[in-house]
Amino acid sequence: MNDKKLITTQEMRKIQLELLDKVMSFCTRKSLKCILAGGSLIGAVRHQGFIPWDDDIDLEMPRHDYEIFLSEFIGDNCCKVISRNKNKQFYLPYAKVYDPRTYFQEDSQGAIPIGVNLDIFPQDNLYDDFDSCLAICKRIKKWQNCLKLKQIPIRKREFSKNLLLLLGKISLFFVPLSFILNKIEKIAQSCDNTNSKYVAAIASLTYGNREIMPREWFADTINLKFEGKLYPCPAGYHNILTQMYGDYMTPPPPEKQTTHHRYQVYWKE
């Protein structure tokens, strides 16, 4: 891809905001709930936009609305949606909306080359009992660790770490990626209580038990400014962000103000 035109961070953010507006416009028309989440929610609260060193947009939808979105969102030549519902070769248990005019290859084994994108995470029902929520988190974390082992590339690092990684990959050699993803999705959707006390975006569990949260924190939405426009956010954002990140209003030290992605982005034409 060396002959392709590199997309700058500013251009990438502009594309992401265009994707965001298309997703939100569709959700508004269809009365689907879609809120800023994760780093994007911190960005809206703390920076009124992107976290300065961040390079993505995170959204969250209740599972029911998420499935409607995946089945009905059409997109256009500047905006497509990809998920395992639409492409069984997709390598993640959540969806991405991307610009097909752009290209990058994520630093992950099994990744499908797509373009500049944003993430949409399904929020699933859990239980009324917190201990039962912990149990389901433990089950799903086991399979998520398997998924990471399958996907993480062996690159230049300490020999002992690469050796452990290689042994893990060998142990999972005959376990298809699709089998692991099916397990994650099945467990994530195993609780059908639509009025459960607790919920979580459990299919993409990153922070473990901290992601188990009362449904009431998400019951209402408020509009917060993000890069000059208002977008829906959970009214309980302070409780959500405090439980997830602690003192979320204080930026991390400079040495930790880095993106967690490893890629460059290009225009296809």
Q: CB 259: neighbour CB atoms within 10 A? A: 13
- Tell how many helices (H) and how many strands (E) occur in the chain: 7, 11
DSSP secondary structure of 192-226: --TT-SEEE-GGG--SGGGG-EEGGGGSSEEEEEE
Is residue 2 included in any domain, yes or no?
no
Say what the pLDDT of residue 262 is: 63
Q: Are 95 and 72 in contact (CB under 8 A)?
A: no
Token look-up 């976290």 returns 51
Say what the pLDDT of residue 181 is: 94
Say what the pLDDT of residue 157 is: 62
Domain total of the chain: 1
Say what the pLDDT of residue 85 is: 86
Is residue 73 included in any domain, yes or no?
yes
Is residue 1 included in any domain, yes or no?
no
- If we measure between CA atoms, which residue out of 75, 73, 74 comes closest to residue 18? 75
Is residue 56 included in any domain, yes or no?
yes
Q: What pTM does this model have?
A: 0.91
- Ordered mean pLDDT values, 10 residues apiece, the chain (269 residues): 79 96 97 97 97 93 97 93 89 94 71 88 97 95 87 66 70 83 95 94 92 98 98 98 96 83 80
Say what the pLDDT of residue 98 is: 95
Is residue 4 included in any domain, yes or no?
no
Is residue 196 included in any domain, yes or no?
yes
Helices within 43-129 (DSSP H only): 63-72
Say what the pLDDT of residue 107 is: 60
Range of the domain at 92: 9-267
